[in-house]
Structure 1
Amino acid sequence: MYSRVQRKKKKINPYYFLLFFILAGIGGVIWFQIMDKKGHSEVQEVANTFIQVLEYKEYEKLGNVLEKQSYTSLDYTLEEVIDKYDRIFNGIKISNIHASKIEMEKVKNLGYELSYQLSFTTPLGKVENLNYKTKIDETDGKYLVKWDPSLIFPGMEGKDKVALHYKEAERGEIKDLFGNGLAVNEDFKWVGVVPLELGQGNEKDKNLQRISQQFEIPIEEINQKLNQNWVKDNLFVPLKIIESNKAEIMPGAAYQNIKLRYYPLKEAAAHLIGYIGKATKDDLDKNPNLSEGDMIGKAGLEKAFDKELRGNDGGEILIVDEQGNKKHEFQKVEKMDGDDILLTIDSYIQREAFKHLKGIAGSTVVMNPKEGGFMP
């Protein structure tokens, strides 16, 4: 007789299954949050690095943050992207770059969207709050910025370039009581040569000799300027500034117009009128509105009334296509020529007084014989 041992099956409480799924769900949420937080942190770091590259012009670091496919698909190499930033931002001397309103938004299944504003200063003045937008996607386990030319200036695309057309304000003139010039803008000429037009051999030597004698420029100085590294056969090489009426047509000689400050009374009014010169580093430090190469008053009335005389330069920054055709205007500032200053002195009397003093220290008083008053 066989005995049957019956085993009693244990029933699993269904609440255990419920608890398991709850714990698994919580764990999944926690894991997802950890991974999402890690991803967000990496995206934030890439965004911060990209913004820092822009603000500090560290374009050589762009390779660390840009997605390769985004620029190669537009027919750019990394070197070309770096060079494009350098040519534009350093080429036209953009400074004081500042980013603001930096925001990141996660886009479902599409990575992150980065938006920000840039403000900076160009040679024409301030540009404020330009809006930029791009994406940061994960590529091969690394978050990178998707690049296109609109991240340089909004509106740029393809092989677009940036062109700066600068319009220098004309300095105001200083005039006497009757409107005669005491400090004026006079037309002069650069005399120079274009190497290709000098000829060869003996012909070249003869032409250089004539230019040397006509304009009193040592032949050694001419040859020294012709041997500069930048000189090419078809480029104008300036030699000396001359008065416009002294320009003569002669083989090998070429001319370019230039406007310079001219003082008709020369020494007779130099102590009063003063002179202008290039802004020094100290001048630039004291006046943020000045730029390197600006001509400013250095002494006398030229210095006292420099702000009124100098005016404000203008120009325009354009976005142009690969052929140089204008697409649209990025920044435009109208130039404002300087104001003329009218004095109460009579230039004729000033010249005569200087002539009669003949270099002797002193002063002159001139009286109007008809009215009895003193002449200015």
Structure 2
Amino acid sequence: MKKKHLLLVGLLLLLLIAGGSFYYQYWHQQQQEKTAVKQVARAYTKAFSRQDFKQMVRYVDHKQLTGGDYRYTSKQVVARNVAVFGRIGANQLNVKNLTVRRQKPKQYQMTFDLHLQTMIGPLNVKHYQAAIQLVKHKWRVVWTPTLLFPHMNGTDTVQLQWQQGKRGKIVDRHGKALAVDGQLTQAGMIPDQLGQGHTRTERLTAISQQFDVDLATLKQSLQQNWVTKTSFVPIKKVKQQPKLTGVTYRAVSARTYPSGAASAQLIGYVGPVTAADLKKHPQLQSNGTIGKTGLERYYDAQLQGRDGGTITINNDDNVVRTLLKRKKSNGKTIKLTLDRTKQEKAYRQLAGQKGAIVVMDPRNGQLLTLAGAPSYDPNQFVAGISQKAYQKYAQDKAQPFLSRFTQRYAPGSTFKMITAGIALDNGTITPATTRRISGLKWQQDRSWGDYQVTRVKDAATENMTQALVNSDNIWFAQTALKMGSQAYLNGLQPFFKPKLKLPLTMQPAQISNNGKLDRQILLADTAYGQGQLLLSPIQQATFYSSVMNQGNMQLPTLIAGQAAKRQAVLKQASADQVKQALVQVVADAQGTGHALQIAGHNIAAKTGTAELKLQQDTTGKQNGFLMAADADQNRYLMVALLEDNGSDAVIKATKPLVESFY
């Protein structure tokens, strides 16, 4: 009995071992099989998501492309996918939730969801299904029209009804357009008119040369998935329509800039959406536009319109299923405080010189002009600027892309009004304070070495008004030294502390490199607007508004209806006394701003010339400045700059603009 029992136990153990081995082999085989199926599913969906439909059909069973209402070849499957997804502007296809499940021997079921962007917005499609079968020792997808979109059959089509959301306008204070959607002419290729072989190459070469577009770019455009023989394949926007075989033209909506170069540096321009743009802003469409520079870029999110429409599955004229429905919306209109007429006038007065003109309403901070020169034509960029034209701009030493109204400069003698106001505030001077100065050069003591402060007019005695009328550097240097660096800094800080809330890229105003005035020469130079002092023309206008506003500095604004703050920086009496002195800068026949005089009007002004010499008593570059303001009704305050010029040239250039304010 014992032996029989042991024999039975051994037999059972052998059976268990054999069964376990068989089960393990079966399980291992199933795992290998499932892994192979998953690899095919991943390869198919990866090619599908890339819209590489030629690669995709390699994983399809070519002998199972026939159904009740369709009979396809592999090439027709590719063409069907291209037509369906090209028609809706599909991009950024992303397959999600991919699974494979065994249904029966030699057959699995693949399921997945799809997220994609279309011409009218994002679309989520759920429950794609397809069988994967073993065909001649290879796993292959059984393709049906439901792999285009679920529920599609062989006779269904996908239709797009598209409504374009318009980009918002940028307008001036009176509603005049500064950036608006208009119409341009688009040149495009018709593939079946280009011919084949050598003829095609010749025609493409002629197109490349005519429109200054790389031949490789043209060929790449023709190879896009959506392109058919009769498609209109865009080349670029053009102003003329030369006759070329294979080329036709159509009117298209395009951004236009009525003010052209006069406002280009402020408004900027739009351009085609790039791959980098899509990565940052997935809601954009690959065939859309985006603000590239200026206010077009800053306010792009508000300006962008949203396209609308419907994407449907249709059978003949009947809608079988609606895949996506989206209401279009137009972008917001951005209304500026700018006055387009004054802006264009200011630009013309610069006459191609290197400079800027900023005009502000000092009563509320509204910026009326922000003109810079030289400039560029933004309409060229929208139309598709040639490489040659772009290089001409880029290599221009005058830097037409530079917004000089936001660039920082040493303000020169215009800053003396601020020094005067601070000195009056803290009692360093009174309006009657008179200084006796001999000669055109001065230094405090021998510790200054060879350095001396210089002036233009040799006036033996001067009070504050006379010092401003004569623009005497020595008078103000002595005032700052008497005041002391700490008292001067205490007076300057309220001007420099506020942050300007403008949609512009601009570095903060600077007193000095380290924010201190810890050397006597630096203190003296700062008093008359040099040293390491740096202000943009916009910042200068902001600072100088305090003199016109009874000591209240008015911060600027560029957006209509947007209030800007005021801040008390000087005592009212001090500001008024400086203002009266600035009126004399124009009214006095000996004043540096006398050439600005207009009969019947009181103008407060201060000229300035900032020298950029590396060494005293040598010839060097200089920048000319002018601050001019309405001393009667306070309706305008202008700060103008001309590089490589003196203040006399600035007065000559801007007087017609000042006259237009009356």
TM range (shorter): 0.5 to 0.7
Q: Does the Cα contact within 8 Å between 2:122 and 2:283 map onto a contact in 1?
A: no
d(CA) in 1 for partners of 2:249, 2:114? 44
Q: Does the Cα contact within 8 Å between 1:166 and 1:314 map onto a contact in 2?
A: yes
The amino acid that maps onto 1:56 is A
Q: Counterpart of 2:635?
A: 373
Aligned length: 319
Q: Does the Cα contact within 8 Å between 1:54 and 1:97 map onto a contact in 2?
A: no
The amino acid that maps onto 1:42 is E
Task: Select which of 273, 278, 286 maps to 2:272.
Answer: 278
Q: Counterpart of 1:201?
A: none
Listed one character per residue, the Cα deviations across residues 69-110 of structure 1 (whole Å, up to 9, x for unaligned) are 532344122332233334445674433422315141435x89
Q: Counterpart of 1:203?
A: none
Q: Does the Cα contact within 8 Å between 2:118 and 2:285 map onto a contact in 1?
A: no
The amino acid that maps onto 1:274 is G
Specify every segment of 5 or more residues in structure 2 that has no aligned partner in the other structure, as ranges.
191-205, 212-217, 223-228, 241-247, 362-628, 639-662
Listed one character per residue, the Cα deviations across residues 310-361 of structure 1 (whole Å, up to 9, x for unaligned) are 233344433234x576432223333322110011122233334444554453
1:115 is aligned to 2:111:
yes
Task: Give how far 1:136 is off.
Answer: 3.8
d(CA) in 2 for partners of 1:60, 1:66? 11
TM-score (norm 1): 0.63
Report SS of the residue matched to 1:95: strand
Q: Does the Cα contact within 8 Å between 1:119 and 1:127 map onto a contact in 2?
A: yes
d(CA) in 2 for partners of 1:188, 1:163? 27
Report SS of the residue matched to 1:311: coil
Listed one character per residue, the Cα deviations across residues 214-264 of structure 1 (whole Å, up to 9, x for unaligned) are xxxxxx99xx79xx999x99x99999548xxxxxxxxxxx98543333333
Task: Select which of 164, 171, 180 maps to 2:167.
Answer: 171
Q: Counterpart of 1:215?
A: none
1:184 is aligned to 2:188:
no
Task: Select which of 149, 153, 163 maps to 1:153.
Answer: 149
Task: Select which of 62, 72, 88 maps to 2:66.
Answer: 72
Identity score, percent: 26
Listed one character per residue, the Cα deviations across residues 50-74 of structure 1 (whole Å, up to 9, x for unaligned) are 3321223354455664445532344
The amino acid that maps onto 2:636 is F
CA change 1:43–1:78 in 2 (3 A) is: farther
Q: Does the Cα contact within 8 Å between 1:46 and 1:65 map onto a contact in 2?
A: no
Q: Counterpart of 1:328?
A: 321
1:345 is aligned to 2:341:
no
CA change 1:112–1:258 in 2 (3 A) is: closer
Q: Counterpart of 1:301?
A: 295
d(CA) in 2 for partners of 1:149, 1:340? 44
Report SS of the residue matched to 1:56: helix
Q: Does the Cα contact within 8 Å between 2:159 and 2:312 map onto a contact in 1?
A: yes
Listed one character per residue, the Cα deviations across residues 20-73 of structure 1 (whole Å, up to 9, x for unaligned) are 999899978975885576356435523431332122335445566444553234
Residues 332-341 or 254-263, more deviating: 254-263
d(CA) in 2 for partners of 1:260, 1:301? 17
Q: Counterpart of 2:567?
A: none
d(CA) in 2 for partners of 1:236, 1:65? 31
CA change 1:84–1:38 in 2 (3 A) is: farther
Q: Counterpart of 2:97?
A: 100
Residues 74-83 or 31-40, more deviating: 31-40
Task: Give how far 1:129 is off.
Answer: 5.8
Q: Which residues in structure 2 correspond to 1:3-42 (within 5 Å)?
A: 34=25, 38=29, 41-42=32-33
Q: Does the Cα contact within 8 Å between 1:183 and 1:261 map onto a contact in 2?
A: yes
Q: Does the Cα contact within 8 Å between 2:102 and 2:108 map onto a contact in 1?
A: yes
Q: Counterpart of 1:45?
A: 36
